[in-house]
Amino acid sequence: MTWTRSTIATVALVLAVILFFALNIAANIFFRSARLDLTQGGLFTLSSGTIDTLESIPEPVTLRFFYSDRLAAKYVGLRAYGQRVRDLLQEFVARSNGKLKLEVVDPEPLTDQEDLAVAEGISAAPIGGETLYFGLVGTNMVNGREVIPLFSQDREKYLEYDLTSLIYKLTREKKPKIGIVTNLPLDTGLGGMQAALQGRSQPFVIYEQMQSTFDLQFLEQDFDRVPADIDVVMIAHPKPLNPKTLYALDQFIMRGGRAFVLLDPVSEIARQEVDPSGGPSQVATLSSATSIEPLMKSWGVHIEPRFVIGDGKRALSVNAGGGQVKPYLAWLGFEKEDFNQNDPVIGDLETLNLGTVGMITPIDGRTTKVTPLVQSTNYAMEIDAARVQFQPNPDELIDSFIPTNERYTIAARITGPVKSAFPGGPPAEAAAPPAAGQKPAAPLPAPLKESKNVNIILLADSDIFNDDFWVQIENLAGQRVAQPVAGNGDFVLNALDNLGGSSQLLSLRSRGTSKRPFELVEGIRRNAQARFSREEKVLEAKVADTEKRLQELQGRRTARGQPGQGKAQELFSPEQRAAIEKFRDQYFASRKELRAVQHRLSSDIDRLGGWLAAINILLVPLMLAGVATVLAVMRRRRHAKPSAEGPAS
């Protein structure tokens, strides 16, 4: 059989098509989980904590993603975020060893899918006169159910954390158990036990929220070990703890336990406590800033008990009597720019209202990493705690306020290796034999002298629980309804939820967002806007000056009655009319200049857009064509060379 050139070309084309499909089928089978992430910050590269969580899922989990595809397609940013969520969910499925199942539901209006979205608790977000559904529901094989009602673009940087957290909650066997060490009446509210005996006690709202989310257990402030089933210890304004209890807490943290610690130089909650005689209780003047000082020293931090922080920019307004409302420098309402945007516990909060807060100071030579979560503004100063303890005077604080131009840390996350506060082992009283008649306790575990990594959230305030600071409470039909005005509850629940998660979950941090602004375009826009603003101010000043001159002329105008008319006609002198015409010309010229400036503002951006379009439409294809032409010429020369040399003799 003779193979002609056309036959060879046809066979080669058929083989190329077969090879193309074969390679696609093989890639789909053998490289299904292979990914190449070229995004800045690795938006689609899963962290090791997420991978460990996905690979350890014990039972199947179903993720139902509700997304209004048609409506979201109209909005570029929303469409990009929706695609990122979908891609990340698919990546989760690919790495879950078959334990995750993803269902995508498009809830079009007036359909069964929309009814399903509403029934599952997905929030309906109005946009452009229509309803958008953009949320996630996760379920396990039993009755576990977790919901993200709406994916907010403001929380995009925490997307991986939120999805991993949802899956972890569906796979854990029980609620996290929180051991509470406190001297505050969390479960009875203000008034404490005396109010409870009189039947007028109400738990703090945050405590009620904690009850619905966690398994809570109060620990006495005198114990030699933390129960083994405790996941997180919350230490909230305790009395000074004895060495035995400090050792128990120290070893709990050394063994991987997490702690949420709230210490306060001046507690507004405790300040309202009274003794049976009606006078101030002993705990009213109690500072907890040094209650666990040996532990804090081993963590590498210190809270100064003598001072609270006053902030002129964040002071809350209070009723100063006589109908006067004044800023009180010791009660602070922190805002979004005061929060660490990279930590999922605090990053998406809007406000946080606290009272008489302390300051957290890292200690030199520490082994830990102290990351601020909440900081004051630089318009702040230290205030003697004694001045705000009993009868504070807002005016006196304002009169003596001298900002230090320093930002003070109010809350921090403490991580990294630590050494035990008890390097010599348990104190004598912890190892003492039981008193007569008491059942001997199990021996204490062997002491640990250091830990590779701890995770502690420390807040230099305990009044975060105080309902007066963050909720408005109403009684509707006999039920107490709390309307939040600040994010105090979210901060406490987020902190406990974060610390109560797995070690893999704690390793997750914020990522970048899929929004990639055109920095050059934005720079041109800002520069042009700055020029526009400067010229606009000059032109506006000219217009204002023109109006002023006209008013002056009108003030000196004369009125002359004309024969046969019933009212006076206002006339101007020739000089005045000339001046008016001049000012009118200036006015129209100024308006024309304003329009010209606005045109220049957009022309720079339009010009850049034209160049970018030309590069995308013309330059790239021309470059490819040029490369192809060079390769073709080189190939022709290579084939033509033997024939040019002629046959060998």
Work out the average pLDDT over 470-495.
85
Q: Which region holds residue 227: left if phi is over 0, alpha if psi is between -120 and 50, else beta? A: beta
For 301-327, the three-class secondary structure string (H helix, E strand, C coil) is EEECCCEEEEECCCEEEEEEECCEEEE
Q: At what angle do helices 76-94 and 159-171 cross, to 10 degrees?
A: 40
Per-domain boundaries in the chain: 1-32, 48-169, 177-304+358-375+408-425+446-500, 520-557+572-640
Q: What is residue 539's predicted lDDT score, i.e. its pLDDT?
A: 62
Residue with tokens 């504070």: 392
Which tokens hold the place of 463? 């009044």
- DSSP one-letter string for 90-116: HHHHHTTTT-EEEEEE---TTSHHHHH
Work out the average pLDDT over 26-34.
60
Q: Look at 47-51, 104-108, 391-395 and tell me which has the smallest mean pLDDT.
A: 47-51
Looking at the chain, the whole-number percentage of residues with pLDDT higher than 90 is 42
More confident residue, 2 or 328: 328
Q: Among candidates 87, 33, 27, which has minimal Cα distance to 55?
A: 33
Q: What does the alpha-carbon distance between residue 357 and residue 459 come to, in Å, rounded to a whole number?
A: 9
Q: What angle do CA 534, 537, 541 make, to 5 degrees?
A: 145
More confident residue, 403 or 161: 403
Per-residue pLDDT of 383-416, as tens digits, reads 999 999 877 889 999 999 999 999 999 999 999 9
Q: Among candidates 448, 248, 407, 235, which has minimal Cα distance to 313?
A: 407
Q: What does the alpha-carbon distance between residue 319 and residue 394 come to, in Å, rounded to a whole number?
A: 10
**H/E run at residue 180:** strand 177-182
Query: Given pLDDT bands bounded at 50, 70 and 90, which one contains residue 26?
Result: confident
Q: What is residue 14's predicted lDDT score, i.e. its pLDDT?
A: 82
Q: Among candidates 489, 496, 236, 247, which has minimal Cα distance to 350?
A: 489
Q: What does the alpha-carbon distance between residue 134 and residue 120 come to, in Å, rounded to a whole number?
A: 12
Residues 186, 188, 192, 194, Cα dihedral to 10°: -170
Q: What angle do CA 326, 329, 331 make, to 5 degrees?
A: 95
What's the chain's average pLDDT?
A: 81
Work out the average pLDDT over 470-486.
80
CATH placement of domain 48-169: 3.40.30.10
Q: What is residue 290's predicted lDDT score, i.e. its pLDDT?
A: 92
Q: What does the alpha-carbon distance between residue 59 and residue 169 come to, in Å, rounded to a whole number?
A: 12
CA-to-CA separations, 437 to 222, 308, 433, 440, 474, in angstroms, rounded? 19, 47, 11, 9, 51
Q: What does the alpha-carbon distance between residue 212 and residue 178 come to, in Å, rounded to a whole number?
A: 12
Q: 326 Cβ partners below 8 Å, 6+ apart? A: 317, 318, 320, 394, 395, 398
pTM exceeds 0.75: no
Are residues 221 and 239 in contact, defined by beta-carbon separation less than 8 angstroms?
yes
Q: At what angle do helices 205-213 and 488-499 cross, to 10 degrees?
A: 30
Per-residue pLDDT of 533-591, as tens digits, reads 666 667 667 666 766 665 666 565 544 444 444 443 445 567 766 776 776 676 667 66
Q: What does the alpha-carbon distance between residue 543 and residue 526 come to, in Å, rounded to a whole number?
A: 25
Whether the pLDDT of residue 358 is over 70: the answer is yes
Which tokens hold the place of 142? 């039993």
Helix-, strand-, coil-residue percentages of the chain, each rounded to 5: 40, 20, 35
Q: What is residue 559's predicted lDDT score, i.e. its pLDDT?
A: 44
Q: Look at 77-86, 97-106, 522-531, 575-584 and tell me which has the smallest mean pLDDT.
A: 522-531
Whether the pLDDT of residue 161 is over 90: the answer is no
Q: At what angle do helices 574-614 and 519-555 cross, to 10 degrees?
A: 170
Are residues 583 and 550 in contact, defined by beta-carbon separation less than 8 angstroms?
yes
Q: In what order do the strands lie in the sheet with 351-355?
A: 315-321, 324-335, 351-355
Which residues are 311's β-sheet partners?
A: 380
CA-to-CA separations, 183 to 101, 106, 194, 237, in angstroms, rounded? 47, 51, 15, 6
Q: What is residue 573's predicted lDDT score, i.e. its pLDDT?
A: 65
Q: What is residue 614's predicted lDDT score, i.e. its pLDDT?
A: 67
Q: Among candidates 549, 334, 369, 558, which has minimal Cα distance to 460?
A: 334
Q: What is residue 564's predicted lDDT score, i.e. its pLDDT?
A: 43
Q: What is residue 616's predicted lDDT score, i.e. its pLDDT?
A: 62
Whether the pLDDT of residue 169 is over 80: the answer is yes
Q: What is residue 639's predicted lDDT score, i.e. its pLDDT?
A: 66
**H/E run at residue 380:** strand 380-384
Per-residue pLDDT of 218-272, as tens digits, reads 998 889 999 999 999 999 999 999 999 999 999 999 999 999 999 999 999 888 7
Q: What is residue 558's predicted lDDT score, i.e. its pLDDT?
A: 45
How many CA atoms lie within 13 Å of 374's alpha carbon, on the beta-carbon side? 30
Q: What is residue 612's predicted lDDT score, i.e. its pLDDT?
A: 64
Q: Cβ atoms within 10 A of the Cβ of 538, count?
A: 11
Q: Among candidates 374, 345, 344, 342, which has minimal Cα distance to 357?
A: 374
